[in-house]
């Protein structure tokens, strides 16, 4: 069993207590390193990649990666950073999302040699006596020390009792899997420290808390499924590349370090050149986007994604490899219902979203922006290229019913 290499701690936000983790690593026994993720949405994103990469680093050192899919806690939702109580998800929604997580996590983890658990295994079978024992480990005063709870309490916004239970349920996960280390984003500090308290109350040696920096999205907020500002871990390479090119220049180094896995010196070198004016930000951002896409999709996919981006954004040309779609929607008279068509070809999830895209002047036909209420004939749509934003294209073909 290898002890900690110098870079294990280099990119951490905080390790509590760091000396204890170093001692456990030096002891030479495999540690149980836990990461919990609630399936509140179908997609893992690059923000998750930051902690998943750290979990893989522990795994590569011979430690046991324990990935907990929070199919029970996900029904409640983590209150971290929330200004109001989350809506409850149904069991069906949770299960559909959870099914996608295992394959996505395998992009980074050696999933075959990881211990993967669902916390419904133990939380779903707790009795009232079990719950009373758990709640006796902490106080309301301790819960109100949490910053987001404090803010809501001062402002008179509701805090449900079930939200008080969330960090305790997450702590039960640590007890059940006997975690030596728990990983999380730095915003998870309260929940992770609660795990130490509950483990101690249940007679276990408390886990070491290991937090990682939060990844910031293009809108300046932490990347989050709740904010809908995320880049999916298994999103199409072209989509990933395009979204990465929209992040603020000052975040290039963070994405290189925490997502692409570039060494700190290499990640900072290009950023320094940009600041000195010897390198254009677009060039460094393109290098970052290539590195990230190559990390999760391969070098060939990164090259193709960059070429497509250059074609669409730099050269302002429609790509040659536009996918073809055939009309399947009913046509009233001679005109095509464009919102219906956008939903059919999955450029929008609903007609209301499609109308919003039109209102925002985000839909083009053969390069021309469509108005809010377009009147496009069947004849005009046949063989035309429909475009959403700058990354989605489809060549629309008439079907045989007309």
Task: Evaluate whether residue 63 is within a structural domain.
Answer: yes
Q: Does 83 share its domain with 181? A: yes
Q: Does 351 share its domain with 370? A: yes
What tens digit of pLDDT does each residue of 103-155 get?
899 999 999 999 999 999 999 999 999 999 999 999 888 888 887 788 887 88
What tens digit of pLDDT does each residue of 53-110 get?
999 999 999 999 999 999 998 877 666 655 454 566 777 888 888 888 888 999 999 9
Q: Does 301 share its domain with 343? A: no
Q: Does 144 share its domain with 266? A: no
Q: Supply the CATH number for residue 159's domain.
A: 3.40.50.620
Task: Evaluate whether residue 309 is within a structural domain.
Answer: yes
Q: Does 207 share its domain with 328? A: no
Task: Evaluate whether residue 144 is within a structural domain.
Answer: yes
Task: Evaluate whether residue 221 is within a structural domain.
Answer: no
Task: Evaluate whether residue 224 is within a structural domain.
Answer: no
What tens digit of pLDDT does each residue of 301-358 get?
999 999 888 877 755 667 777 888 887 765 555 788 888 888 888 888 888 888 888 8
Q: How many domains does the chain have?
A: 3
Domain end position, chosen among 267, 289, 314? 314
- CA 366 to chain centroid: 34
> Which strands form 115-118's sheet, in the order they lie side by side?
14-16, 208-212, 181-185, 32-37, 64-69, 115-118
Q: Does 287 share its domain with 151? A: no
Q: Which domain holds residue 100?
A: 7-212
Q: Does 166 share its domain with 298? A: no
What tens digit of pLDDT does each residue of 185-237 get?
999 999 999 999 999 999 999 999 999 999 999 888 999 877 878 899 999 99
Task: Evaluate whether residue 93 is within a structural domain.
Answer: yes
Q: Please, what sign has the CA dihedral across residues 260, 261, 262, 265?
A: positive
What distance, in Å, lies between the first and last C-alpha atoms of the chain? Answer: 70
What tens digit of pLDDT does each residue of 272-305 get?
655 655 456 677 888 899 999 999 999 999 999 9
Give the residue, 167 or 362, on which the prediction is more confident: 167
Q: Supply the CATH number for residue 332's domain.
A: 3.10.290.10
User: What is the C-alpha separation between 184 and 228, in angstroms, rounded?
Assistant: 20
Q: Does 340 share its domain with 266? A: no
Q: Does 78 share its domain with 112? A: yes
Average pLDDT, the chain: 85
Task: Evaluate whether residue 228 is within a structural domain.
Answer: no
Task: Evaluate whether residue 380 is within a structural domain.
Answer: yes
Q: Does 241 share its domain with 203? A: no
Q: Does 205 share its domain with 299? A: no
80: nearest Cα among 170, 209, 15: 170
Q: Does 60 share its domain with 157? A: yes
Residue 390 has pLDDT above 80, yes or no: no
Q: Could you give the C-alpha distances from 115 to 1, 60, 63, 67, 95, in angstroms and in order? A: 19, 14, 11, 6, 19
Domain end position, chosen among 314, 340, 367? 314
Domain end position, chosen among 287, 314, 341? 314
Number of H helices, E strands in the chain: 19, 13
């Amino acid at each position: 069993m290898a002890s900690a290499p110098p870079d294990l701690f280099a990119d951490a936000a905080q390790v509590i207590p760091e000396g204890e983790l170093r001692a456990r690593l030096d002891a030479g026994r495999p540690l149980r390193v836990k990461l919990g993720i609630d399936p509140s949405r179908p997609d893992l994103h690059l923000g998750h990649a930051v902690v998943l990469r750290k979990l893989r680093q522990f795994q590569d050192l011979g430690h046991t990666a324990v990935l907990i899919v929070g199919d029970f806690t996900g029904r409640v939702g983590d209150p971290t950073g929330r200004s109001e109580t989350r809506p409850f998800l149904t069991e069906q929604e949770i299960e559909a999302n959870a099914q996608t997580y295992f394959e996505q996590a395998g992009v980074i983890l050696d999933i075959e040699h990881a211990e993967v658990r669902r916390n419904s295994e133990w939380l779903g079978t707790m009795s009232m006596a079990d719950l009373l024992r758990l709640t006796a480990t902490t106080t309301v005063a301790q819960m109100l020390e949490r910053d987001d709870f404090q803010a809501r309490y001062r402002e008179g916004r509701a805090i449900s009792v079930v939200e008080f239970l969330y960090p305790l349920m997450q702590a039960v996960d640590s007890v059940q899997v006997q975690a030596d280390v728990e990983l999380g984003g730095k915003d998870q500090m309260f929940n992770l420290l609660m795990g130490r308290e509950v483990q101690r109350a249940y007679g276990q040696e408390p886990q070491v808390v290991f937090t990682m920096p939060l990844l910031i999205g293009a809108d300046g907020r932490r990347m989050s499924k709740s904010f809908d500002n995320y880049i999916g871990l298994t999103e199409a390479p072209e989509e990933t590349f395009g979204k990465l090119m929209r992040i603020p220049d000052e975040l290039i180094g963070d994405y290189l370090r925490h997502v692409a896995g570039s060494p700190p010196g290499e990640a900072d070198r290009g950023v320094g050149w940009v600041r000195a004016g010897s390198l254009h930000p677009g060039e460094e951002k393109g290098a970052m986007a290539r590195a990230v896409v190559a990390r999760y999709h391969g070098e060939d996919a990164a090259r193709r994604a960059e070429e497509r981006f250059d074609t669409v954004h730099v050269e302002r040309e429609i790509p040659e490899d536009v996918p073809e779609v055939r009309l399947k929607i009913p046509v009233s008279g001679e005109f095509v219902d464009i919102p219906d068509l956008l939903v059919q070809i999955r450029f929008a999830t609903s007609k209301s979203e499609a109308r919003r895209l039109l209102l925002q002047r985000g839909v083009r036909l053969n390069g021309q922006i469509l108005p809010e209420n377009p009147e496009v004939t069947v004849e005009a749509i046949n063989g035309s290229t429909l475009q959403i934003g700058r990354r989605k294209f489809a060549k629309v073909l008439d079907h045989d019913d007309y």
